[in-house]
Structure 1
């Protein structure tokens, strides 16, 4: 660019300094308006002029090329630029945050700055400070300094050459050789020692002022890695500890400072791979022994070759950061050496299995890769993969297992054969009970089986064994006369969690072949007395049955699996630190994946909606849940039976029929809840076995996000349930015969929209004419004597338009008129669905003896 006569110049500083510009004005050109303070009419006034602005690099070129006829401002700024270039050439440049500045200034430099500032003409100082109400100008010294900083920042930022530190490894000593890499031709690298003698055409590839730039780079590098300050003739001799520090962190710091570090290629090809492992005795059994302790060992390999114990020992005793092994250099940093030299505690087999499944183990607070020994690998393969041959239905099983249930049996059989436990966590209604019964038959002769369950399920287990495995001796260890005497090898003992607490010593004297914990979520609190006593029971295998292995927290899952497979997930604190806290607080995906890989072999979870299960299931699955009476219910029940049977025996005709219906109605109300029969307000909890079972059932359903229809033939019972649910803050609505048609339709729409998860319906009002396909669960709180009426109510959900399986649950109070009528209904249903006619009329025709047998408690 040629400067026109009369062109004036001033410098406009910026941050960072390299973004400053030189403004040229007074030459009759330019398209950038700029405010200046110039003399006008015997005073200085703010005046706007048109200017041309030049970036620093172009400004330096233009100013240095200006001739002797240039204006005073151009000549003054040319002197300032020349002095700034001299400063940088002498290495007077230092970092200033994210940019660079000229300095530190020697005494002569400071004097030169004062001299140049004093020589700046007024037009070079016409730039006012911005952001002030009153006019203030930049000081001459600050403007000179701004130009120098801009040159320093520009040269430091726009390097045409890059410094390289190449590490040479000799047998006796190590050295760092300095080289330069061309920015225009990155493939061109030249040792600094050879730069002076290189042909001009080669040196030109590294740009102007290459020595200045190298000096700047060395200064930067020495700040982050001091050994560079000792470089002589392009070489710096390195001590062992300096090489070690360069390997650990010095190299990355130099890279951040713009200095490339080159290592011999085979050094990193030979980087040792250190993995944790254990030693398993060669005579180990074919099963896992989770409590057995195994010696810890480090497995060290280079490439695909594992080092011998002698080579590992030599590596551990290394005195230098690099060791020559198998013809190549191997890194032996202090962390590796400390790891190899430290004594290690043994690991339990459960910890080794967990480490193998997760792929890593924590050692000294750091994550370390884990490789299982070959003996353990075979067992882990069996854990991960499906059994090679499907297990067939065991002898003695009366009933057909569906394909997914056969797979469940095969999984349970494999886990128990390997000596580990498992959690069968299938959805409610997929047949966990029959799979456990089949497992007992499969293991028959391996020792007695103990089934622990809530009291409300004792009768159900007893009936299911009688139904599906009638040849299996079953003992109910419950009540005042319970005993474990004369226990057979293939016997099944049914006990409640309450009995476990009260009679733990008796249960602990038996070497159980299998212990199954039904509704295992009830022992999710590992600190509870029940959970602690459960852990003390001896057994060859443990199986947890639950549809909700994790209700609220990951600790629930830990508690269950720590019983089935002790040690797998570590202790509670280890599990909390390693998995629960990172996953629950920080949604750590890596820990989530790791935990899933660890848990997956020990937990079998199938959902009703799984593609390989849904086609195998009937569209409607029905189940009877038998529940016990509470003490209050027993007292009321026996009193009503006594009072009414005597009167019935003295009656005939229509009077007798009315009295029979009254008896049956009162007994059914007592079975539902004493409050319904007594018609007295008050607390409901703890007084009805059926309500307790309903509570458990509904909790599981709602936690699974399901919508539920609840039928009762009594509006009064529906109202009691409605109040009870509302007290718990659950959205609920009740449909009875008194609800107007319009409100009835609105209720249906709300339920179908998912706004209300629980829909209470009286059997007569809600049993016909409604389409409630949003429901996937149906509960019959009490029984109607005609199965066809129940079926009609169930069909509100199980009908055209329903695209999901429907689970139907009938609550039946065991040992009462409800259970005996349910048995009669089941037999009659097998012949014809409607053979009983309608209502309770057929029951009124029973003889006195038949009626007494029907209603008496056992």
Structure 2
């Protein structure tokens, strides 16, 4: 059907309607309504039409005559154009021939990375050089959002979804019709990372957190980023809905895969010119999760959930994948979804050559309230104890303080040496791990994404006790893991390495000292440093268990750092002054024992942490 006027309709508007008219043919001869009435009234299977005798189904003719012209939304029309067919109301499907603007739009969207002849240039305000596939992703996001259509960027972890989204925000600010503040909704553990990435790649762009005790939207700038968590958004959706957002982003969008959850319902109430979902795992368990994400980004695209389940999910997931019906349903769904979901993997031929062999990322997390309280108390008591001492006694107290703070940053249970029954009544020896550490929350997010893409990971910690806590936590979550430490016998070490290299245990927990040499773990595409070792050479040596000769895939190194803490300051020193860091920190904590009381207080003070 042709739309009225030269412009495209507002595709996200539920009020926009297009006329949908039926045309009928018998064989290759088109018939008008008068002839259709005559054929229906005849009620005979053999009729004369245009001078020829033809065989028809009288019931099918009557059903065709009784069809009424109807109205459809632009998204329904677009869906019919993309799939090439539409349901006829009797459970069958009829072919659809799109024309005019609808055909042009279908052709423009059909190839996500090549459907637009006008490439988008990298924003001038971006302080980075986008790789070619990131630039293509930016162009696709711009095309979709400028049409008022939502999009799901479903690239593998490590391909740069965050920087691509930051680039989209900057690009949209140059177009008055699409400008406006951007709201990013993400897990709590990723909020610090978002802020640092924005400050790094888009310096000068205002960014604020809408979270915890800071929930002000006063004097919101048009080009500002606002960061919030799924939990805060759920509670304060009413306040967030008062803003006319230019863009709303759902990061790790699998968090809204249950469309009936309070989180998903709250997210749907936020008005925006465009919506973008970011996830490396658009489908974890079933196709209804895909529906939930795309029905948020582009409401109405896939129809009601009940119809989607009947037409697509049940047919495709029903165990008869080889059947013609399942194949046809899968093909229709692919044609419908392809323009709205861009999925690239690190192993794709066009992607792999662009990736560096090793990428290192500092991932910032906030302390929980429990961690903050412990940290501040230990700093206060530790500095008071150190004041007035000198020599060997002072050095011992400084090391004790630094060690305590590092353990608190890891997890309160490590510092408190917790053991015995957990608060929730589990068996003796169990300790409640979840919900008490920003680092553990982030590790859970990382592992979910890494395992979903079928990759393997090394997780290093310098503390055997912390590794034991993580081992129990992962077991409770059903994550297959194994733990290598200094006391592991040689034969057992060799068996563990073989199991990891064979893919039998994709998560390998390792004590930093025990795993520093003699291990070849090239199956790992990811390395996580759960805590920082202040001698950079020791960390690098551990990373090289994966990044070594024989490694055929890019390696991503994730260093988890707690914001505003001593870890943050040491990481900053390591990043800004590597040569000085090597000299000062080469001997680890020993060099820090020589700091004056004032310098030590400045180093360990907790800054700007709020969660």
Q: TM-score, normalised by structure 2?
A: 0.90
Q: Partners in 1 of 2:200 and 2:10 — Cα distance?
A: 33
Q: What's the CA shift string for 1:248-287, capped at 9, x where partnerless?
A: xxxxxxxxxxxxxxxxxxxxxxxxxxxxxx4522344366
Matches within 5 A, 1:485-564: 485-564=218-297
Q: Partners in 1 of 2:28 and 2:228 — Cα distance?
A: 56
From the superposition, tell whether residues 480 and 281 of structure 1 become closer, same or farther in structure 2 (CA, over 3 Å). Answer: same
- Tell me, what secondary structure is at the counterpart of 2:23? strand
8 A Cα contact 2:12 2:299, kept in partner: no
Q: Partners in 2 of 1:472 and 1:289 — Cα distance?
A: 28
Deviation at 1:705, TM superposition (A): 1.9
Q: Partners in 2 of 1:289 and 1:730 — Cα distance?
A: 40
Residues 1:298 and 2:22 aligned together: yes
Q: What's the CA shift string for 1:271-320, capped at 9, x where partnerless?
A: xxxxxxx452234436634532222211335787866xxx3443245433
Tell me the equivalent position of 2:427. Answer: none
Deviation at 1:690, TM superposition (A): 1.1
Q: Provide structure 1 residue ranges, at least 5 long, that are not aligned to the other structure.
A: 1-277
8 A Cα contact 2:21 2:70, kept in partner: no
- Tell me, what secondary structure is at the counterpart of 2:389? coil
Q: Partners in 1 of 2:472 and 2:55 — Cα distance?
A: 73
Matches within 5 A, 1:219-230: none
Structure with the greater alpha carbon radius of gyration: 1
Q: What's the CA shift string for 1:694-722, capped at 9, x where partnerless?
A: 11211222222222111001111111112
Q: Partners in 1 of 2:480 and 2:212 — Cα distance?
A: 39
The equivalent position to 1:439 in structure 2, one of 134, 152, 168, is 168
- Tell me, what secondary structure is at the counterpart of 2:513? helix
Matches within 5 A, 1:88-237: none
Q: Partners in 2 of 1:282 and 1:836 — Cα distance?
A: 69
- Tell me, what secondary structure is at the counterpart of 1:766? coil
Residues 1:282 and 2:5 aligned together: yes
Tell me the equivalent position of 2:75. Answer: 350
From the superposition, tell whether residues 336 and 786 of structure 1 become closer, same or farther in structure 2 (CA, over 3 Å). Answer: farther
Q: Partners in 2 of 1:686 and 1:719 — Cα distance?
A: 17
Deviation at 1:487, TM superposition (A): 1.5
- Tell me, what secondary structure is at the counterpart of 1:765? coil
Deviation at 1:499, TM superposition (A): 1.6
From the superposition, tell whether residues 543 and 330 of structure 1 become closer, same or farther in structure 2 (CA, over 3 Å). Answer: farther
Tell me the equivalent position of 2:605. Answer: 856
Residues 1:397 and 2:126 aligned together: yes
Q: Partners in 1 of 2:275 and 2:221 — Cα distance?
A: 19
Tell me the equivalent position of 1:788. Answer: 537
- Tell me, what secondary structure is at the counterpart of 1:851? helix
Tell me the equivalent position of 1:376. Answer: 102
Residues 1:429 and 2:158 aligned together: yes
Q: What's the CA shift string for 1:710-760, capped at 9, x where partnerless?
A: 100111111111222233444322111112222222221222222222211
The equivalent position to 2:141 in structure 1, one of 401, 412, 417, is 412
Q: What's the CA shift string for 1:539-578, capped at 9, x where partnerless?
A: 1110000111111111111000000011111111001000
Q: Provide structure 2 residue ranges, at least 5 long, that are not aligned to the other structure.
A: 420-430
From the superposition, tell whether residues 519 and 632 of structure 1 become closer, same or farther in structure 2 (CA, over 3 Å). Answer: same
Task: Select between 843-852 and 394-403 the one with higher mean Cα deviation.
Answer: 843-852
Q: What's the CA shift string for 1:22-41, capped at 9, x where partnerless?
A: xxxxxxxxxxxxxxxxxxxx
RMSD of the alignment, in Å?
A: 2.1
Deviation at 1:809, TM superposition (A): 1.1
Tell me the equivalent position of 1:808. Answer: 557
8 A Cα contact 1:399 1:468, kept in partner: yes
Q: Partners in 1 of 2:580 and 2:132 — Cα distance?
A: 28
From the superposition, tell whether residues 368 and 290 of structure 1 become closer, same or farther in structure 2 (CA, over 3 Å). Answer: farther
Q: What's the CA shift string for 1:500-559, capped at 9, x where partnerless?
A: 122111111111111111011001110011111111111111000011111111111100
Deviation at 1:660, TM superposition (A): 1.7
Residues 1:471 and 2:204 aligned together: yes
Q: Partners in 1 of 2:5 and 2:23 — Cα distance?
A: 18
Deviation at 1:345, TM superposition (A): 3.9
The equivalent position to 1:753 in structure 2, one of 483, 497, 502, is 502
8 A Cα contact 1:279 1:296, kept in partner: no
8 A Cα contact 2:2 2:101, kept in partner: no
Deviation at 1:830, TM superposition (A): 7.7
From the superposition, tell whether residues 323 and 647 of structure 1 become closer, same or farther in structure 2 (CA, over 3 Å). Answer: same
Q: Partners in 2 of 1:333 and 1:305 — Cα distance?
A: 16
Q: Partners in 2 of 1:479 and 1:297 — Cα distance?
A: 54
Q: Partners in 2 of 1:853 and 1:313 — Cα distance?
A: 90
Structure ranking higher on relative contact order (CA contacts 8 Å, 6+ apart): 2
Q: Partners in 1 of 2:190 and 2:599 — Cα distance?
A: 28
Q: Partners in 1 of 2:549 and 2:8 — Cα distance?
A: 56
Deviation at 1:401, TM superposition (A): 0.6
From the superposition, tell whether residues 317 and 504 of structure 1 become closer, same or farther in structure 2 (CA, over 3 Å). Answer: farther
From the superposition, tell whether residues 456 and 485 of structure 1 become closer, same or farther in structure 2 (CA, over 3 Å). Answer: same
Deviation at 1:359, TM superposition (A): 1.5
